Structure 1
Amino acid sequence: MSRRDLIDPASRIPLDAMRAMMPEGLQSIPDITERRAAAAAMALAVEAPDNPNVTKEDRTVPGPDGAPDLTVRIYRPVDQAGPLPGLYYIHGGGMILGDLASEDDVATKICDAVGAVVVSVEYRLAPEHPHPAPVEDCYAGLVWTAKSATELGIDPQRLAIYGGSAGGGLTIGTALLARDRGGPALSFMMPIYPMIDDRNETLSSHEITDIGLWDRATNIEAWAWYLGGKDADQYAAPARAGDLAGLPPAYLDVGTVDLFRDEDIAFAQRLMQAGVPTELHVHPGSYHASEMFAPDTALSQRIWAHRLDALRRALA
């Protein structure tokens, strides 16, 4: 049986349509600039309309020492008095793709549904900017967000961090940096199907080879570009972290037809063993980011219902 046969039938429809147009997936585009343009076009194809309940503002804030400034996009619920919970948002894209615009609809959705001030960060991408540039950018943006909490209308006791895929790996890497540097206190983290292990040794990393969205060959290539020929440390590949104690309470989810399935389940188990309160959801039939490609399916709505419930509980 092909792993594709295990995908939720309704969620498979847009995936098959994409494969019909691009049989070998995004990895078939060797030029990174062209690949980013194709990924951006795919993101726009499922873009949600503007939400009148949310305002948006872009700002330039300090980057890491000696590095360029960062752009952040700030989302605020309309007509809600502060201070509100804060959510620091890190977009996905395998460390090589993505930007603020690619997940604007998701950040807007969370802002509206949870009633939080969301700060989304634009970080530098590999291969032009390998590790540690992306995670250092994310950490610098988090430091600015925490220092600006009063101005932003954020309750500093309710500051969480969220990201999917590469953004999930950067969420954990940033939380590790905050712990180890005595940085901003995080009340919660939500790494969604996080990209956290450069070794590609798990069973699921060998199983997922022909789905068309973040298969084994794509992941190996992305890790090589992200590491730039250097060995991974725990801030690049959090699965390598020896000590997970002291990280904030966590929520993880991943699909059964996702390359990251086994590394994420193992990481959630290690968080629990380290005494970190952890909630884990494994969704049958879900492929990588299926809720973004097939947002109207019953499966996607269940995935989002669990996430938003967890965020509301964590930030109450």
Structure 2
Amino acid sequence: MTSKMGIVVDPEYAQILAKSSGQSGDNITTDVLAIRAWTNALIEAASKAHPYPEGMRESTHSTTSLDGTILHITRFLPLSVQKEEAEAAAEAAAGAEAGKDGGADKKDKKAKRRPKRAVVFVFGGGMISGTVQASRGFIAAVAENSQTQVFAPQYRIAPEHPYHAGVDDVYATIQWLQRSAADFDVDPKRVIIMGQSAGGGVAAGVALMARDKGLDPPLAGQCLRYPMLDDRTWYPESDPRNKYWTWSVAANDMGWTYYLGGLKKEDRNEETVPCYAVPARAKDLRGLPPTQIGVGSLDLFKDENLDYAARLVKADVGVEFHLYPGMPHGFDGPHGFTGVPAMRLTGEMWEDEARWIMKL
């Protein structure tokens, strides 16, 4: 680790910075569509930088959101789960072939098998960008590393669809998956919500909604990768960490403003901004599912993530928190820098998440 003015910078990230001419969101136009194009390009480049898991199977499914809008969901089925399904099918076929006694044995074996867990993955993109396709590599990696099937909704984003469209879409996905659990050999009690960046903020909002609506069965857990949780986050340009942020204060405020329907900062308060939109504004975090949060120490969201984790602990929610020293926002890929591979701590973060998911 290297330290400049008391700031710890990971050596691999320092090398990336030395080769770059600046990649912050402040370096592009304030036009939302331009930021969307810029962000999607970075997400897709980072996502594609990782080898796609061998044998991963994808399929597309549909349901309706809470307002009746058609919602498309992509299922990522890793080879490890496919093998388990094949073994189960072979057992069933052998039981049927054996006749009546074999059928009874088949039932006994099926009863001993535990239905599988599933992850509902919410892609990132600053509330104003991102797609399942752009994040395809990230999502497949989650499925592969955790040996878990993942369901990723193409939820609606701002500014065309401000809050509460995206939260409704993801909540509807969870309801659909629990209703359809038997079709996918999923245990409805073992559904985990996971979100990346802005998707982490949406996921946290959905977890609050699930608690308050009495989702039955409740979520098994929420895994939040450097989540975007608080619209009030702000730092002056003089902050020495500013040069290390890959998602800037200005871009962040733009994302929140569009997501909140154009509501300006001075007009935001506990009455005008629901906690399902901005989870950090929730007054009570009791009753939320077990939570895993990971964030880099040079991430714009570090302080808000630390605060949310501490509040969860005070609310008696089981929390596993990881701070990755000297790492910026979005360190799971090359940040659009050509030829730069994922960093060492990228793998550590993925291993931490997979291990946590596999416990549920």
- Aligned counterpart in structure 1 of residue 354 of structure 2, from 308, 313, 316: 308
> How far did 1:39 drift?
2.5
- Alpha-carbon distance in 1 for matches of 2:355, 2:285: 25
The answer to whether 1:45 aligns with 2:45 is: yes
Partner of 1:70: 71
Q: Give yes or no for contact 1:204–1:262 (8 Å, CA) kept in 2.
A: no
Unaligned runs of 5+ in 2: 89-114, 264-271, 335-339
> How far did 1:210 drift?
3.1
Q: How many residues align?
A: 311
| Cα root mean square deviation, aligned | 2.5
- Residues 160-199 of structure 1 mapped to structure 2, 5 A cutoff: 160-184=192-216, 185-199=218-232
Q: Deviations over 1:188-246 (max 9, x none)?
A: 11111111111125799966433352111111111111111343211111111111111
What amino acid maps onto 1:44 in structure 2? E
Structure 1 residues 202 and 39: alpha-carbon distance in aligned structure 2, compared to 1, 3 A threshold? closer
Partner of 2:297: 256
Q: Give yes or no for contact 2:25–2:35 (8 Å, CA) kept in 1.
A: no
- Alpha-carbon distance in 1 for matches of 2:238, 2:301: 7
Query: Structure 1 stretch 68-77 or stretch 193-202: which is displaced more?
Result: 193-202
Structure 1 residues 38 and 229: alpha-carbon distance in aligned structure 2, compared to 1, 3 A threshold? closer
> How far did 1:170 drift?
0.9
The answer to whether 1:84 aligns with 2:116 is: yes
Partner of 1:110: 142
Partner of 1:223: 256
The answer to whether 1:232 aligns with 2:273 is: yes
Q: Give yes or no for contact 1:27–1:218 (8 Å, CA) kept in 2.
A: no
Q: Deviations over 1:109-158 (max 9, x none)?
A: 12122121100111111111111111111111121111111112211121
Identity between Structure 1 and Structure 2 (%): 33
Partner of 2:57: 55
- Alpha-carbon distance in 1 for matches of 2:296, 2:238: 13
State the SS of the aligned residue for 2:84.
coil
State the SS of the aligned residue for 1:10.
helix
Partner of 1:29: 29
- Alpha-carbon distance in 2 for matches of 1:254, 1:109: 18
Which structure is larger by alpha-carbon Rg, 1 or 2? Answer: 2
What amino acid maps onto 2:78 in structure 1? P
> How far did 1:14 drift?
4.1
- Alpha-carbon distance in 2 for matches of 1:295, 1:119: 27
Structure 1 residues 3 and 139: alpha-carbon distance in aligned structure 2, compared to 1, 3 A threshold? farther
- Aligned counterpart in structure 2 of residue 285 of structure 1, from 314, 326, 347: 326
Q: Deviations over 1:255-281 (max 9, x none)?
A: 110111111111101111111011111
Q: Deviations over 1:41-74 (max 9, x none)?
A: 22333303432232101122211224x2111110
Query: Structure 1 stretch 290-299 or stretch 198-207: which is displaced more?
Result: 198-207
- Alpha-carbon distance in 2 for matches of 1:285, 1:241: 29
Partner of 2:110: none
TM-score of the pair, normalised by structure 2: 0.79
Structure 1 residues 249 and 137: alpha-carbon distance in aligned structure 2, compared to 1, 3 A threshold? same
- Alpha-carbon distance in 2 for matches of 1:260, 1:142: 26
> How far did 1:29 drift?
3.0
Q: Give yes or no for contact 1:216–1:259 (8 Å, CA) kept in 2.
A: yes
Structure 1 residues 49 and 89: alpha-carbon distance in aligned structure 2, compared to 1, 3 A threshold? same
- Aligned counterpart in structure 2 of residue 246 of structure 1, from 283, 287, 294: 287
> How far did 1:16 drift?
5.2
Q: Give yes or no for contact 2:24–2:246 (8 Å, CA) kept in 1.
A: no
Structure 1 residues 207 and 132: alpha-carbon distance in aligned structure 2, compared to 1, 3 A threshold? farther
Q: Give yes or no for contact 2:241–2:298 (8 Å, CA) kept in 1.
A: yes
Q: Give yes or no for contact 2:195–2:223 (8 Å, CA) kept in 1.
A: yes
State the SS of the aligned residue for 2:195.
strand
State the SS of the aligned residue for 2:242.
coil
Partner of 1:127: 159
- Alpha-carbon distance in 2 for matches of 1:72, 1:50: 19
